[in-house]
Amino acid sequence: MSEFEALMNLQSIDLELDALDDRERELPERDRYEKLAAEVKTSEKALAAKEEVLHKERAVQKRYEDKLDALTEKIEREQKKLYSGVVTIPKELTGIQQEIESLKERRDEEETVLLEQLDVVEPIEKEIAVLAERLVSMRAGTEEAKSAYAAVSAEITAARRERKEKREAVLPGVEKGHLELYEKTRKRYRRAVVNLKDGVCQGCHTDIPAVELRKILEAPGLSKCPNCGRIVVKSSK
Ligand SMILES: [Zn+2]
């Protein structure tokens, strides 16, 4: 193995790890999942708000119903009194009849009010049913997106683990000094080791002046591009 080969191997593994990082950063699966999850949250809020409105309107409805029930009870009581035979005085009987009539009128009015309230409640109930149904399918879609995201994440994690194992295996073959220079250069450039082709650094694409080039080619060990500082592979012309 040439002095560069182990380093080049290491770099190709590191570049693969970089690519995995890049892929993970820009996963369309995650974007999709996060977008859907946010939409579900928004819909849940809208549904909760509607349910609160419904709760209030139903309380109003209940009040009207109770009023109506109370009137019905009163009417029944008066009717019982009327036909019980306890009251025999015609004037009193007429009074009870009049009371019943006025109670019935009030009940009719209350009934109209209740019907109007039902016209308020029913559309809200329908809206809630539509929202709830939509939420069910939205949640299903989100779950699906979540598993797709989890699957691709697991795939990346497995690939990364495999590369890291490979890296551990390659590492002992890299000379300590080379590794140090490589790690230092990697902080500036992803591709720290580049070819030197016809005297041109393949990292920064600069023509290395002849004098410098000769020095590089003659020097033992690793050399750096005088322009960009990348490690240059000298074996290829
Ligand atoms: Zn360069």
Over the stretch 137-179, which tens digit does the pLDDT of each residue have? 999 999 999 999 999 999 999 999 999 999 999 999 998 999 9
Residue 196, Ramachandran bin (φ over 0: left; ψ between -120 and 50: alpha; else beta): beta
- Cβ < 5 A residues, ion ligand 1: 201, 203-204, 225, 227-228
- CA 235–ligand 1 middle distance (angstroms): 16
- CA 193–ligand 1 middle distance (angstroms): 10
Q: What percentage of the chain reaches a pLDDT higher than 70? A: 97
Q: What is the largest CA-CA distance in the chain?
A: 136
- CA 191–ligand 1 middle distance (angstroms): 11
* Residue 4 pLDDT: 80
- CA 231–ligand 1 middle distance (angstroms): 8
92 and 160 share one domain? yes
Question: Any idea which of 12-16, 29-33, 90-94, 231-235 has the lowest mean pLDDT?
Answer: 231-235
Q: Examine the fold and report which residue of 173, 200, 221 is the final residue of a domain before the chain moves on.
A: 173
Q: What is the mean pLDDT of residues 33-39?
A: 98
- CA 9–ligand 1 middle distance (angstroms): 20
CA distance 156 to 2: 31
Q: How many domains does the chain have?
A: 2
- CA 169–ligand 1 middle distance (angstroms): 29
Joined together, the tokens standing for residue 27 give 């996963």
- CA 173–ligand 1 middle distance (angstroms): 25
- CA 86–ligand 1 middle distance (angstroms): 117
140 and 186 share one domain? no
Q: What is the mean pLDDT of residues 91-116?
A: 96
- CA 223–ligand 1 middle distance (angstroms): 11
- CA 184–ligand 1 middle distance (angstroms): 15
- Residue 138 identity: M
- CA 234–ligand 1 middle distance (angstroms): 13
- CA 229–ligand 1 middle distance (angstroms): 6
- CA 211–ligand 1 middle distance (angstroms): 15
Measure CA 43 to chain center. Answer: 13
Q: Examine the fold and report which residue of 173, 199, 225 is the final residue of a domain before the chain moves on.
A: 173
* Residue 237 pLDDT: 40
Q: Examine the fold and report which residue of 157, 173, 189 is the final residue of a domain before the chain moves on.
A: 173
Is the pLDDT assigned to residue 110 strictly greater than 90?
yes
- CA 232–ligand 1 middle distance (angstroms): 8
Range of the structural domain that residue 204 is part of: 176-233
225 and 120 share one domain? no
Q: What is the mean pLDDT of residues 205-229?
A: 91
129 and 194 share one domain? no
31 and 115 share one domain? yes
